[in-house]
Amino acid sequence: MNAESLHSHKGRYAYERLERVIHEKARLGILTSLLTRPEGLLFSELRDLVGLTDGNLSRHLKVLQEESLVSIQKAFVNNRPQTTCLLTEDGRERFLNYLQALEQVIKDAETATKKTTKSESAWLAT
Amino acid sequence: MNAESLHSHKGRYAYERLERVIHEKARLGILTSLLTRPEGLLFSELRDLVGLTDGNLSRHLKVLQEESLVSIQKAFVNNRPQTTCLLTEDGRERFLNYLQALEQVIKDAETATKKTTKSESAWLAT
């Protein structure tokens, strides 16, 4: 890569739109689960879908709630406490924006592997 | 979601194949950059592509090297030290495997948003 082409590529793979609070692996699972259910998921349902312990799920939900990505509703149903977790409007928007950045990573990698495969075949053909 | 369907979805969004060492945002940029250049990148080129400081890039490269994902070659060119960073064979394989898991996240989210849009339209049509 010469100096000029490198200059134009500065920060090309910085992926700044990959918001850190969303990027955490467990939270990615939580947000995807909630995206599939706009009407919300019970705490126990969500826990099973993402395969976390009660404690870990609570900690991640607290972070997501503080960031206004998720809202938590507590109610009593048949005299038993019930916790429902929902993606907020803002959370949905930010998560969809994050997913676009994620798609860019995959596109970049796909372009890279296609290029490699091409040069490998060219090399094999000689 | 009833008890039965939930049972079959246990851990559905756990995304266990998202290897943590690769998932870190800066490392994702480093690995994508190296994937685009099988012949390797100079330390300075890589630093500019991912937009990290020398210190941060060094730290992440150390982790990736310890995990055998990346190899570092040091040489003298015109009496000046030159560091080249390369993706290892194993690193390439694990990164491609990681990317497949990432695609699954996007597919799950796409399915979710399609479903939502559909039920929203159904609701609007009533």
Q: What's the confidence (pLDDT) of residue B124? A: 44
For A101, the closest chain B residue by CA position comes to: B106
Give chain B positions within 8 Å (CB) of A103.
106
Which amino acid is residue A97, in one-letter code? N
Question: Which of A20-29, A108-117, B55-64, B68-77 has the weakest average pLDDT?
Answer: A108-117
pLDDT at A38: 92
Domain locations along chain A: 18-110
The model's pLDDT over A68-111, given as tens digits with 9 standing for 90+, comes to 999 999 999 999 999 999 999 999 999 999 999 999 999 999 99
Q: Per-residue pLDDT tens for B78-89?
A: 999 999 999 999
Token readout for B55 is 């210190």
Q: Give the pLDDT confidence score for residue A8 in this predicted structure.
A: 54
Residues B14/B20/B25/B27 CA torsion (nearest 10 deg): -150
Residue A83 and residue A77: Cα distance in Å, rounded? 10
Mean pLDDT (whole number) for B63-89: 96
| pLDDT of B115 strictly over 80 | no
Q: Output the six-digit token pair for B103.
A: 């695609």
In the A/B pair of chains, how many CB contacts fall below 8 A? Answer: 121
**What is the nearest CA distance from A9 to chain B, expressed in angstroms?**
6
User: How far off is chain A from B50, nearest CA to CA, in Å?
Assistant: 4
Among the partner-chain residues B10, B41, B49, the one whose CB lies closest to the CB of A48 is: B10
Rounded to the nearest integer, the mean pLDDT of chain A is 88
Give residue A113's pLDDT. Answer: 86
Of the pLDDT bands very low, low, confident and very high (cuts 50, 70, 90), residue B114 is: confident
Report whether pLDDT(A125) > 50. no
Contact B48 A6 (CB under 8 A): yes
The pTM score is 0.84
User: Would the pLDDT of B22 be above 90?
Assistant: yes
Query: How far A77 CA sits from the closest chain B CA (Å)?
Result: 16
Residue B116's pLDDT band (boundaries 50, 70, 90)?
low
CATH for the stretch B18-106:
1.10.10.10
Give alpha helix (H) positions in A9-74.
20-23, 25-36, 43-50, 54-66
Predicted confidence at residue A62, as pLDDT, reads: 98
CATH number (3.50.30.30, 1.25.40.10, 1.10.10.10, 3.40.50.720) of A18-110 reads 1.10.10.10
Q: Which of A3-7, A104-108, A116-120 has the lowest mean pLDDT?
A: A3-7
Residue B5 has pLDDT above 70, yes or no: no
**pLDDT level of residue A112 (50, 70, 90 thresholds):** confident
Q: Which amino acid is at B25?
A: K
- Could you say which residues from 14 to 43 on chain A have a Cβ atom under 8 Å away from some Cβ of chain B? 14-16, 18, 20, 23, 25, 28-30, 32-33, 35-38, 41
- DSSP E strand stretches across B1-104: 41-42, 70-77, 80-87
